Amino acid sequence: MPAETYMSPERYARIRHFLSLRQPSLTLCLEQLDKPHNVSAIVRSCDAVGVYEVHAVWDNKPEIRKSTAMGSENWVYTKEHSCIENAVSHLKAQNMQVLVTNLSDNAVDFREIDYTQPTAIILGQEKYGATDEAVALASQDIIIPMVGMVQSLNVSVAAALILYEAQRQRQLAGMYNTQQLTEQACQKMLFEGGFPRLRELCDRQELAYPHINEFGHIEADESWWLQMQHSKPLQI
């Protein structure tokens, strides 16, 4: 059997394990962030606490810095929206409380929030913060209390602090003990992460992803494999 048709038992078990810990009801919404190292560091923190998908609104999409993200960009999806209104509407349609990091009279300490609820956190642009539109659409302003001369943290540091508070609360509530992702979502990431070359060919030809069985093997009919074998530059 060609090596491209299966992954090692160790890799399969590792992917399955982290998928069982993913938290689809916890996410970030990045509004007009434009510094690659910040976005890369945020994606890395998202992977570390089990965020499944990040949302983003930006005019100029920053490139992920692989040296900073350390490969986490391959395991955290990014869903782009045309504007913050569409992003928040999408999040609220999933019954998420939408928070925004914003220094205001109505802001509360980020640790006072119940992150066991479905939660999305808007993080604004590095220099100017969240837009007025984002603040108006959010359910609650949150702040990270500070006692120094500087009134804000680097956005990637702020993201990590908030995410780890969310992780702490969710761990205490046992939310990492039960798989939250659907099997369909797990199958998608198993194929994309376990067979990146075949995934590229599938996407190019708009083919459905095959099933990955409990041994980490691809299960596909003959016609699927024929299309793979006739695709270039696949070499198996």
Say whether 144 counts as a known binding-site residue: yes
Question: Cβ distance 121 to 87 under 8 Å?
Answer: no
In 3D space, the residue among 182, 194, 177, 103 whose CA is nearest the CA of residue 144 turns out to be 103
In 3D space, the residue among 119, 123, 99, 98 whose CA is nearest the CA of residue 34 turns out to be 123
Cis amide leading into 233 (omega within 30): yes
Q: Give dist(CA 119, CA 58) in Å, integer.
A: 21
Say whether 27 counts as a known binding-site residue: no
Cα angle vertex 8, ends 4, 9, to 5°? 140
Say whether 153 counts as a known binding-site residue: yes
Question: Cβ distance 108 to 17 under 8 Å?
Answer: no
Binding site members for S-adenosyl-L-methionine: 101, 144, 153
Binding site members: 101, 144, 153
